[in-house]
Amino acid sequence: MVEGWFGGEGDAFRLLGTRCSACAAVFFPREDVHCRNPRCAGGELVEVPLSRRGRVWSYTDGRYRPPSPYVTDPELPWEPYALIAVELAAERLVVLGQGVPGLGVADLAVGMEVEVVPGVLHEDAETVWTTWQWRPTTGVRS
Amino acid sequence: MTGEVAVLGAGMHPWGKWGRSFVEYGATAARAALADAGLEWREVGSIVGADTVRGGYPGYVAGATFAKALGWQGTRVTSVYAACASGAQAVNTARAQILSGLADVVLVVGADAAPKGFFRPAGGDRPDDPDWLRFRVLGATNPTYFGLYARRRIAVHGDTLEDFAQVKVKNSAMGALNPYARYRKRVTGEEVAASAVVADPLRLLDICATSDGGAALVLSSMEFARRHGVAEPVRIRAVSTVTPRYPNTVLDLPDIATDSAVAVEPAARTFRESIAGAAYEEAGIGPEDLSLAEVYDLSTALELQWYEDLGLCGAGEGAKLLREGATSLDGRIPVNPSGGLASFGEAVPAQAIAQVCELTWQLRGAAGDRQVAGARVGITANQGLFGHGSAVIAVR
């Protein structure tokens, strides 16, 4: 579904973007066709791992079950998860992602450092859909 | 600067969940606008419809759908889609036809019958669609983004939940005076605080509903207006339809990430600032000239952001402007005297047109109990999914 957006195991897990070899612009989600910098004549787009850690730009959650195409089990009660927008300093961009399971808005603050980790978006009998999630690097506030 | 066009007529279908077809809402609004203009449908040389992606196939061909409902008469026909900015692009298309001499009189119509609950993308597996992806990969609904902006304002500017609630209090008080609004009950800060959290820190009454509704305008050349006996019509002086500039560095619907600022420094103005900026430049006026503004209050917190993006106050001063009462009906610069989306709800192709209807009535001095005293210049501000900016400036 989002092939090539992330990769690596354990501590080596990273979001994957692309970088234009002509102007150095970085793209996430990855841009594989043409560089989108209007001042750039266009260079080869090369896959690059993004910074593992960033700082919380903002955060929220969803107290109501999102509609499809988000996949949830309607038999189970809805458990909100945090959605966190994270500023990556080296790439100078902000990436939205889910917080790790059990992380709530009360555990978060703007400016807090978080790191990207692999997580499970959804699974059924045949398939496990993996994704990226954000996890605070210093444990959660009480 | 470009030339001006006249607003000869404005009309709406009352907003709410009526359970009828968008065609009925649009045709009703169109007939009201034509009656307001004192024109027969047969005298209209062009119709421009703002499209909806709901309502099925006919929604994609709104111009012809409304023309059929009003009675085929061989007019020039156009349909435009720009998400929430569809109405403004329809106005812009009509203006371009008038200024280029393609048409003397143009009917602009937008209407929708919205589904219940969250807006969602069209069906099917479509991983090449960023709107589909944000739902599938993140479960990020529209209120997710409103919540992110609200939390960011709290962290950066020190806004409070009470500030957000007071936007709803203000808009509901004005919406209570508007017969076209869906919600006509005044809301208190306590009621906002007691409503359920939807996307932290925003509550149900901080976030606009979805709605059915329709709005229409009759626009003409200034010369036609004079011949028609309207010496001093409300005039549209600017229509802004800009895109963002790369790199767009504020996370926005429906994106999962911003552009990177590594290769190019961001422009001095954010996208939302540039929407109003383009309209000001085209009209040759500034925020100090405004009598009122109709802005796109998808959430209470977002209305405060628009104050700053329109230049009504400095960065971070939106809540202060609200607390001072400047944006209330009797304040220095009333914002959303119609009641805004807080009172109307979203009927996507209609709302940018409805904003111009409100400017028209205000500038004519015909807005009844919600009249802004001595209104001479008004601006609308709106933003459509995927990078459609929209602002209209009207003058009297």
**Domains with residue ranges and CATH for chain B:** 5-118+212-228 (3.40.47.10), 130-206+235-395 (3.40.47.10)
A69 and B201 within 8 Å at the Cβ level: the answer is no
Please, is A3 exposed, middle or buried when counting C-beta atoms within 10 Å of its C-beta (0-12, 13-18, 19+)?
exposed
Chain A and chain B share a number of CB contacts under 8 A equal to: 150
Termini Cα distance of chain A:
36
CA-to-CA distance for B89 and B389, rounded, in angstroms? Answer: 9
Residue B193: the pLDDT is 98
CA-to-CA distance for B254 and B60, rounded, in angstroms? Answer: 21
CA-to-CA distance for A102 and A121, rounded, in angstroms? Answer: 14
Amino acid identity of residue A55, one-letter, is R
Residue B2: the pLDDT is 65
Residues of A in contact with B125 (CB under 8 A): 69
A91 and B246 within 8 Å at the Cβ level: the answer is no
Residue B221 phi, psi (nearest 5): -70, 155
**Mean pLDDT for the stretch of residues A44-63:** 98
Nearest to B152 among A37, A58, A69 (CB): A58
Residue B119: the pLDDT is 87
Q: Using one digit for the tens of pLDDT, what is the confidence trace for A17-32? A: 999 999 999 999 999 9
Residue B8 phi, psi (nearest 5): -85, -30
B246 and A36 within 8 Å at the Cβ level: the answer is yes
**Mean pLDDT for the stretch of residues A6-16:** 95
Which of A58, A61, A98, A110 is most worth mutating to test chain B (most B CB atoms within 10 A of its CB)? A58
| Contact assessment for residue B112 and residue B213, using Cβ atoms and an 8 Å cutoff | yes
B138 and A58 within 8 Å at the Cβ level: the answer is no
The pLDDT averaged over each successive group of 10 residues in chain B (396 residues) is: 89 96 97 98 98 80 97 98 96 98 98 87 88 96 98 98 98 98 98 98 97 98 98 97 97 97 96 98 98 98 98 98 98 98 97 98 98 98 95 98
B121 and A93 within 8 Å at the Cβ level: the answer is no
Q: Using one digit for the tens of pLDDT, what is the confidence trace for A109-125? A: 999 999 999 999 998 89
The ipTM value here is 0.96
